[in-house]
Amino acid sequence: MSPRVLGPARPETPPAGGDRGPQQPRSEFRGGLAEAARRLQEAARRAGLVLDPRTVTYRAEPFACYEYVLRLQQAHTLIAMPAAWVESETWEEQMREPMARARQYLEQFVPVQERVDLAARGLPRFQQVLKP
């Protein structure tokens, strides 16, 4: 088997619809990213969730949305909320239901995390949690 000769290195090309990094919200939304983060944080707080405003980013593709990380105790998830909901005048009503559903989703993982935390503290009856 002869060694394969490779040609010159090609530059990395982003995937189709690639990640262009954080973008700014549409120009017609006067509040900008800071206002969107404030609205998302307030909606999360009302649902009993924690949102770090530093995690909020705007994505124009494949659809205009805000991505952010929600936390409930140790459980967390990345969520994309349509920009139209965040930027509307009725944002509080628009985001109430999705935030409640996100809380229900995260609540599934809290008991698992609590068991893992107890096992990590060395309590013998919870050691089996870490076994495959």
**27: which 2 tokens?**
């120009």
Range of the domain at 36: 32-130
* Residue 13 counted as domain residue: no
* Residue 22 counted as domain residue: no
* Residue 5 counted as domain residue: no
β pairing state of 57-59 and 50-51: unpaired
What does the pLDDT look like over 6-47, one tens digit per residue? 444 444 444 444 444 455 555 456 678 899 999 999 999 999
* Residue 57 counted as domain residue: yes
Specify the 3-state DSSP secondary structure of 123: coil
Q: Which amino acid is at 17?
A: G
Cβ atoms of 127 and 119 within 8 Å: the answer is yes
Count structural domains, the chain: 1
* Residue 11 counted as domain residue: no
Task: For helices 32-46 and 91-107, give the axis angle rounded to 10 degrees.
Answer: 60
Which helix (H) or strand (E) element contains residue 80?
Answer: strand 75-82
Q: Report the distance separating Cα 68 and Cα 63, nearest Å.
A: 15
* Residue 20 counted as domain residue: no
Specify the 3-state DSSP secondary structure of 54: helix
* Residue 25 counted as domain residue: no
For the entire predicted model, the pTM comes to 0.65
What does the pLDDT look like over 58-114, one tens digit per residue? 998 888 999 999 998 878 888 899 999 999 999 999 999 999 999 999 888 877 777
β pairing state of 75-82 and 57-59: unpaired
The C-alpha torsion from 74 through 53 and 56 to 117, rounded to 10°, is -10
Q: Report the distance separating Cα 130 and Cα 132, nearest Å.
A: 6
* Residue 117 counted as domain residue: yes
